[in-house]
Structures are given as structure tokens and as C-alpha cells.
Structure 1
Amino acid sequence: MSFLRLLWQIPAALLVLAMLISLINEYAIARPSERIKDIPYVNAQSPDFDVERHLLDVYAPKLKTAQPFPVVVFIHGGNWDSGSKNLYSFIGRRLAKQGVVAVLINYRLSPAVRVPAMADDCARAVLWTTQHIGEFGGDPNRIFVMGHSAGGGLAALVATDHQLAAKWQLPEQVIKGAILDDAAGLDMYDYLQKMEFPGDEQYLIPYSHDSAVWRAMSALYQVTADSPPILLYNGSRTYPGILRSTQKFHERLLALGVKHEFKVLQGRKHVGMVAQLYWQNNLIYQDLLKLVGAGKPE
């Protein structure tokens, strides 16, 4: 009986040990940074202010330096109808630990709004960042955008769409670069015309039935020769539509002479492309730190 009891206790003990190790690891990562939560980036008096979605978190290195830190605005994914900045605190912590001020944002979602309003929200968050990030040790002259999945498509728009920047009076060329992690929506104009895969009709909710909107909200058609440097990543086992649109985006960047890198990570699926950012020494972080010019504050 005692032997059976011991066998039953071993998995529980291992689980507790694994949880303890995870907590210690998270403490070690969180300790060098501070998180300021739920800052409104839209004026509360604005008629479209959303008390839950117009919020952002700032993750800043605790160690202060004479020079301000580069800034990365991270835009979460979620199929344009779900997701939250709160799911990605590990990205904020790891960036801050490596000498970057991270801004993780929420934005309004479908079906309450469509993609043009989401792009507006992302631009407004960047505008807030230009105006306030200095208060948190960030450099307003070194702002980069980053996103995964739907957030990658939105980050690409913020980085390339001159009309969007002009609409929200963003300073000229304020975005110094973009990091697109398995980005979705880079060419929704082509994707929604073809409707090749089961369930594709769902995307007409956030994108509408208007093909002009599909094109306007696709970064492939907004990128220009003066667009900032871009890091592009795909998982080799991600969705076919994402692989195809990213390849087309890569070819468009080549044709325009836009400085960029394109890497396909073997064996990675779509969710794995963001889950891997849990590990600080991930390839994407390595490339990102070079792009933004960060130095570890530790």
C-alpha cells in the first residue's frame, strides 16, 4: 500500500517542482523590469473610447541609464476577434530585461468594429507612445512595431500606410522598423477574392464585403520604397495563406528595395511562432535586438 501511495505522489511532486521552477524563472525574468498596467491611450472623453480595449501596458527596465531605451510596440493576434495584451506579459518582460521598453496594446475587436478601426487604434497607440514614452525611459525617436498573426498584419499597416499616419498626425517616419511574426492579413485582397479554405467567410465580418477595404487594409499594397526596415518570419508549418502572402510581401519589398530580412523557421506552426518568444534567446529576439540597437541593461 505504501508503495502505491508513493507512486501516486511522484507525479504530484514533479508537478509542484515544475511549478516552483517556473515561478522562480518568472521572478528572475520579472525582477529587472517594471510593469505599468492599463494606461488609456485614447482620451476618455472621446466618443469612441472603449474602457477595456483602449488600454496599454508599459514594461520598462528598472536599471536607469543616461541614454533612453529603444521602444517596441507589440500588437497581439487573435483572428481580429479575440486576444488581449494580458496574454503576452512574457514578451514585455523579456524585452525589458534585454534593454527595450515594451508597449503592449489592446485594440477594439470584431464584430464591434472592423479592421480599419483596429488599424486606427494601433496608430493611436503609437501616437501616445511618441508623446509619453520618455516618461518611462523610452526613446521617442526609436520606436518599432511588432505583431503576431492578425497583430502582425496591423503592425505592417502602421509601419507602411502613409494615409493612416497622416490621419492620426504621426510624426513623419516615426516608425523605425517592424518585426512581423507569422503575420496574417498582408494580402487580404487576394485572399478574400479566392476564398480557398473552409471557413474563410468568417473574415468578411472584420473586413466587410467591400473589396476596396480588403486592398486598403493589406500592407502589400501600402508599402513604398521609403518604408522602414522589416524583419519577416514564417513557420514552415503555418497556414498556407500566411506562407503565400508573406512570400509575396517579401518579393514586393525586394522590388522596392526596402531593407528587410525574411526567415522561415523549420517545423514551427502558427501558434508556436509566438509561443517561442517565451524563451529570451529566441532567434527573433536576437534579430530584434540588433534592429533596434538595444544593449542589455543587466
Structure 2
Amino acid sequence: MRLFRLLWPILTVLFITGVVILFIHEYAIARASHRIKDVAYVTPNTPGFDTDRHRLDIYQPQQDQSVLRPVVIFIHGGSWESGSKNLYAFIGRRLAKQNVVAVLINYRLAPKVQVPDMANDCALAVSWTQKHIAGYGGDPKRLFVMGHSAGGGLAALLMTDNQLFTKIGLTQNPINGAILDDPGGLDMFDYLTKMEYPGDEKYLVPFGKNPTRWHDVSALYYVKQDCPPMLIYVGEHTYPGIQKSTRRFRQRLQELGVKYEFKVLPGKKHIGMVTQLFWETNIIYQDLLKFVGAKP
């Protein structure tokens, strides 16, 4: 106890110093970008418009806006029932600092809607981005989707299921590639058919009880030879279900000759796979910048 009393002032100073350094670091990164917050990607008078969930944030680099930059649309995770773009502002700021226009989106969640409606929301957000992003310095011809966990599954679905875009009036899928960070839901048909893990029943809320629907929202079954390229990352210690479905997804990509890169990140668990993106030197950012063609 005496030792603790002696060390307490030192520990307090170290903690405060660390917080101050972190704040200064984050402030410096924030100054390198400009945030446009809570833009509606669905017209507010549209039936079913959700004032909180049909919104997106745009992060622009502060540099010359006359040069159009690649665009990364980030889709948050949260088991299809929680999460918000506001939790991932650090990703938007770091991408913008590295000359990428970042778009972070919200979408409706369970139990209010199920996954097909979530995917439709994400497609509407991508469509809005394609139509308007040039006004924010982004190149509509270089759109990429990125997601973690449930957001990774939705990103994969957007890139593989072209019907999501034809249903909303687009003639073709506008996505040029995907960055999948420990993606969930790549094969929910297999996952929910087998129910191998404790608590799996909770996923019947966002996915429903109809196996046909599980199949219809699983990116695995839409992979085609002409799919754009992907970057796929999985944590060494992530959930077994994610490891299994990602392995099956990669096998399908290999069978059809789809270009992709895959990396297992040592020591990482599921949550750590997204929190590591706080650091702009992270390997995912390093690969992403090359992948999307961002210039220093």
C-alpha cells in the first residue's frame, strides 16, 4: 500500500501526459481534414425515411479540392443491431489525412428492419455518393467500400450482388473494390443452418427464420468472375465463425479467378481488428492507399 501511495502521483502524471499527447495527436489529424456531418442520403420526405439512420458523414482532405481523389465508403459493424458512424470518426480523419475522401454511413438496424433493408440502405448511400461526391473532391469513378464485422459482410454483399443497384435504378454496380476487415455474414446460410455456437439464435432477429433469406443476403453466393478486386483481413484470434466463412469465401474467389489479397493479422481479436485503425501507419491503411490509388 505504501508503494502504491508513492507511485500514485507518478502514475497520475503519466496518465495525464498520455491523454494530452493523444488529444494533441488527434487534433493535429483532425486539422488535416474537413468533416461534413449528417448528410441525408435518402430524401427526407421519402416514406420510411429515418432521420438518424439515413445519414452519412464526408471527410475531405484539406488540400486542393480541384483534384478528385479516390473515395472509401466505410460501413460500421455491430451485429446488425447496433453501431454508428459517429464511433468511427477516427477512420474518416485518417483516410482524409492520407488523401482519400471518406464517407461514413449509418443504416437502419434490427429489430426495426432486417438485413435486406440494411443492404438496400447501404446501396442508396453508395448511389448518393456516386451522384454527389465530385462536389466534395471525390472521384465518382473510384468508389470503394470498406467494412468491419457486420459492415464487412454488407460491403461484400454490395460488391457482389449487382441487383442491389439495379433495384434502385442504377444500370451497373459503381463499386471498384472492397476492403473487408474481419467480415461477418459472408455465408449466413451455412452459419444459421448449422447453429454451431452459443447464442447464435440472436441472429434470427436481423436475418429472420427463412433459410432462403439467409442465402439471399450472403455474399458468397453472388461471387462472379468479373467481381472487382478485394483486400481481406482476418484476426488470428477472431471468432471461429468468421474464420470459417472467410475461408469458404476465399475458396470461391480462387475458383472463379477473382483478384484478392488476404492477410491474417497476428494476435488480433475481432474488436482489435477495427480499433487498430486508430493508427494511420496500420498495415490495412498501407495496403488500402495502394489499392485505391491514393497519391501522397
TM tier relative to shorter chain = over 0.9
What is the alpha-carbon distance in structure 1 between the residues aligned to residue 72 and residue 275 of structure 2? 18
The C-alpha deviation readout for 1:106-157, integer Å capped at 9, x for no partner, is: 0000000000000000000000101110111000000000000000000001
- Residue 75 of structure 2 is aligned to residue 75 of structure 1: yes
What is the alpha-carbon distance in structure 1 between the residues aligned to residue 221 and residue 28 of structure 2? 43
What is the alpha-carbon distance in structure 1 between the residues aligned to residue 170 and residue 118 of structure 2? 16
How does 1:1-298 map onto structure 2 within 5 Å? 7-296=7-296
1:9 positional shift = 2.5
The C-alpha deviation readout for 1:157-186, integer Å capped at 9, x for no partner, is: 111101112112235241000000000000
1:65 positional shift = 5.0
Kept after mapping to 1: 8 A contact 2:231/2:261: yes
What count of residue pairs does the alignment treat as equivalent?
294
TM-score (norm: length of structure 2):
0.97
Query: Match of 2:198, SS?
Result: coil
The C-alpha deviation readout for 1:35-62, integer Å capped at 9, x for no partner, is: 1111111110111100110110000101
State the Cα RMSD in Å: 1.3
1:11 positional shift = 2.2
Amino acid paired to 1:122: C
1:267 positional shift = 1.1
1:7 positional shift = 4.2
What is the alpha-carbon distance in structure 1 between the residues aligned to residue 197 and residue 112 of structure 2? 25
The C-alpha deviation readout for 1:50-100, integer Å capped at 9, x for no partner, is: 011011000010101543000000000001000000000010000000010
1:12 positional shift = 2.1
What is the alpha-carbon distance in structure 2 between the residues aligned to residue 75 and residue 181 of structure 1? 10
What is the alpha-carbon distance in structure 2 between the residues aligned to residue 158 and residue 33 of structure 1? 27
Query: Match of 1:258, SS?
Result: coil
Cα gap change, 1:264 to 1:13, in 2 (>3 Å): same
Kept after mapping to 1: 8 A contact 2:237/2:267: yes
Q: Which runs of 5+ in 1 are unaligned?
A: none
Q: Which runs of 5+ in 2 are unaligned?
A: none
What is the alpha-carbon distance in structure 1 between the residues aligned to residue 116 and residue 294 of structure 2? 32
What is the alpha-carbon distance in structure 2 between the residues aligned to residue 59 and residue 138 of structure 1? 10
Query: Match of 1:270, SS?
Result: coil
Cα gap change, 1:136 to 1:65, in 2 (>3 Å): closer
TM-score (norm: length of structure 1):
0.96
What is the alpha-carbon distance in structure 2 between the residues aligned to residue 207 and residue 181 of structure 1? 21
What is the alpha-carbon distance in structure 2 between the residues aligned to residue 266 and residue 99 of structure 1? 28
Please, which moves more after superposition, 242-251 or 59-68?
59-68
What is the alpha-carbon distance in structure 2 between the residues aligned to residue 243 and residue 101 of structure 1? 30
Query: Match of 2:57, SS?
Result: strand
Amino acid paired to 1:38: D
1:8 positional shift = 3.5
What is the alpha-carbon distance in structure 2 between the residues aligned to residue 110 and residue 292 of structure 1? 32
